Structure 1
Amino acid sequence: MPGGHVTTPFGRRPMTLALVQRQLDVDGIRPGKTVDKWKVFRDVAEARELLGLQDRGIAVLDALLTFYPENKLRQDGQLVVFPSNTQLALRAHGMAGATLRRHLGFLVEAGIIIRRDSANGKRYIRKDRAGDIEAAFGFDLSPLLMRAEELAGLAQQVAAARAAFRQAKESLTICRRDIRKLISAAIEEGAPGDWIAIEDAYVALVAKLPRTPRLADVNSLLAEMEALREMILNLLKNSVKAGNISSKGAQNEQHIHSSKPQTSNELEPAFETKPEAKPADIQKRESGNSRVFPLGLVLKACPEVINYGPDGAIGSWRDLMAAAIVVRSMLGISPSAYQEACEILGAENAASLMACILERAGHISSPGGYLRSLTDKARRGEFSIGPMLMALLRARGETLRLVV
């Protein structure tokens, strides 16, 4: 392994004091030290962002390591590899020459490899008469051996940061779900409180999350979300203690779930029940994973749908479902898109969503695509119909007291 001297780059590439220091540092590698080249490669790949490297730079390093014949980098071994750019580009999956040279430069700047340039810039080894290597010119892999522990520490740091970010995002997702469902439950069951203002506060918090958030962004938003959730829970606890929560919402929900529409030719496939289906299966298909809002609230938020009910009126969930089928056809939404919404959201909520889409039809260019998008979000737990109903109520200047 070359040591005890410093070589300067060939051609126009400048020499820096940092390059001098790196070449001197490799002389201090502990005698007899060895490291698995692929282990240290994985550490570099994991810590690439901290090292200022890109994926293509990692591909170039991978190719360089294939020219080193052993699996272990050894302090007493020959750690200079000398492939031509053509050979190196082939092993780097056909990388363009200019791209290859650029990322070799990045590896040098990051202190992962050292250039050992010959007088004419060619890469080769020269042996003496005994066959021993007298000089080697190419790329020195000694920094990988020297920095093995440091690179492992950087890789662990990145892995820990990734785990912390994943945990913070999971906690934020759960907190957002809790807040949405608590607000919906409070509205549905008539808990006292300014729930529209609370919903606005929640929406404002969600809007603060950047498109590509960092850990600090997620932790900051999580702290605010947890404070909002705690405030909501305190409001609900106080309402429970004071006996102010009505059982009307629960009664309505029970009535809705027990009033299943009968099979009819006028209904979509999602509303048909197979003879062998058990009551629990039917209820799950009709109510989905979302809470069902009171019919009066839906009609107050979406009065346009009333015109499409039987005889121009809607007096039951069955009437709303029949109206939703007419609206679906009128807006050009395919039966399959509506059936999928029924399966994910439940029959009542799917019909309510159709009423919402009708109410905003003038602002939606593709109602079918919009329905499928909301259905996909609902499948991932990212959509609830409650905020949409509240927004329509606010747009009409209505208050919750009129519909609870």
Structure 2
Amino acid sequence: MEHTATPAHRAEAWRSRAEPLEATYPGIGSIVDQPVFAPISRRELMTAVNIAAPDLGLKPSTVLIVDALLSCLPCRSSAGAEIPVSPTMLLTIYAANNTLCFRAKGVTERQLRRHIQILEEAGLLTRRDSANGKRFPIMRGGKVVGAFGLDLSPLLVRHREIQELARLRTQAQEELRGLKAQILKLGAACQALQLTDASKQFVESLRKVTRRARLTITEAKHLLERLLSLAGHSPAPVENPQSDPRDQNSSETNSPTAKPRTDVAPRPTKPAHTTASDGRNVRHKKTEEPDPKKAIHPPDPRAWTSLTTISALYPTEPTTSREAAAIAYDLGQMLRVSRDFTTEAIATHGLHHVLKAMDRLATRAEGISAPRAYLRHLLTHADMR
């Protein structure tokens, strides 16, 4: 008697062949039981885990264990190329502790067990323990179909959530970096104002506060608002606190409503011929001979106000080259440029060109990751000459 194999019979036969694996090895990590998720490369996943580690409650040492576990996944094609992690590959790691410790830069087995427990408590890992606690693969037809070990399915299922956490943290870090730059710039400008002792102490402590690793965006915004209130309500610095009586007399004389004064004696006129010293004690200094090894740059006649950013931070125009160099060194520290590089740049390109390049760098400081290289480019560029 012949029996016809209907689709229902074939499905029943398939189920009967698949059931023994589940019934014989309960609780193992197998491909058929893994959840479905979008494929992702190990590099992208590790980048997101590194950035979002504080939000996941992971320390850098625990992130190193995650990297070691991901390195055990079969993410190589037959040609040796890197392929993304997908649900079609076994996500249960059955490598021994020695292997994992070696790939985790030499941590001890005790540290490894502690970090695995942290990952399990964070919901990023599931234990698939055998009866004796050992990790080993389950083979069928010469292929690995399951394993007892550490299942990374929870980590892979949450990879979109982790990437979103990393994106939000990156945005927050960029916003905080911009707020810190504004605080430092406005704080430097407030130092030239007439402030109370408490306000002056607050402005001087800004550099130390902005270096705190746990400074939040809310705290940075509060500092910026307080600086803006100081800058808006504080009087501008007095350039010449001591007035000259002769200037007052001159202004009264030039006024259209001023009356002629009779109580002021006429000033004696100077003789046509004066002595070499003109009545002053002149101290003659020996002229220094120029060093042929150093480049000599004549003083630039352009006004201090042409350096818009620097003149806003330092309203008082320097009267000597020493004062201008001190401003260049101070601004270089604010822009993360070393003192040695600033000295070399001044000796090579001249003080004015260095200040002009720093002025342009200060206007774009928030978006420049390598200020020293950018400053070197500005100094060697033709437009800076």
Shift of 1:263: 9.6
TM-score (norm 2): 0.54
**Matched residue, 1:144:** 155
The answer to whether the 8 Å contact 1:344/1:379 transfers is no
**Matched residue, 2:217:** 215
Matches within 5 A, 1:2-401: 7=27, 29-30=35-36, 33-70=38-75, 71-128=83-140, 130-181=141-192, 183=193, 195-197=194-196, 200-204=198-202, 206-207=204-205, 210=209, 212=212, 213-232=215-234, 235-236=235-236, 264=285, 276-280=296-300, 344-345=325-326, 379-381=332-334
CA deviation string 1:163-210 (max 9, x = no partner): 1111111111121122123x2xxxxxxxxxxx252x641323554874
How far apart, in 1, do the equivalents of 2:33 and 2:100 lie? 27
Residues 164 and 381 of structure 1, relative CA distance in 2, 3 Å threshold? closer
Q: Percent identity?
A: 25
SS of the counterpart of 2:85? strand
The answer to whether the 8 Å contact 1:43/1:155 transfers is yes
Q: How many residues align?
A: 255
How far apart, in 2, do the equivalents of 1:76 and 1:92 lie? 26
How far apart, in 1, do the equivalents of 2:285 and 2:218 lie? 55
Q: What are structure 1's unaligned runs of at least 5 residues?
A: 9-22, 184-194, 252-260, 296-316, 318-338, 347-374, 383-404
How far apart, in 2, do the equivalents of 1:381 and 1:36 lie? 39
The answer to whether the 8 Å contact 1:107/1:113 transfers is yes
SS of the counterpart of 1:126? strand
**RMSD (CA atoms):** 4.7
How far apart, in 1, do the equivalents of 2:114 and 2:232 lie? 53
How far apart, in 2, do the equivalents of 1:206 and 1:345 lie? 18
Residues 96 and 344 of structure 1, relative CA distance in 2, 3 Å threshold? farther
SS of the counterpart of 1:279? coil
Residues 204 and 121 of structure 1, relative CA distance in 2, 3 Å threshold? same
Shift of 1:159: 0.5
Greater C-alpha radius of gyration: 2
SS of the counterpart of 1:144? helix
> What residue identity is the alignment partner of 2:326?
L
How far apart, in 2, do the equivalents of 1:114 and 1:152 lie? 21
SS of the counterpart of 2:65? helix
The answer to whether the 8 Å contact 2:191/2:203 transfers is no
* Higher helix residue share: 1
Residues 122 and 245 of structure 1, relative CA distance in 2, 3 Å threshold? same
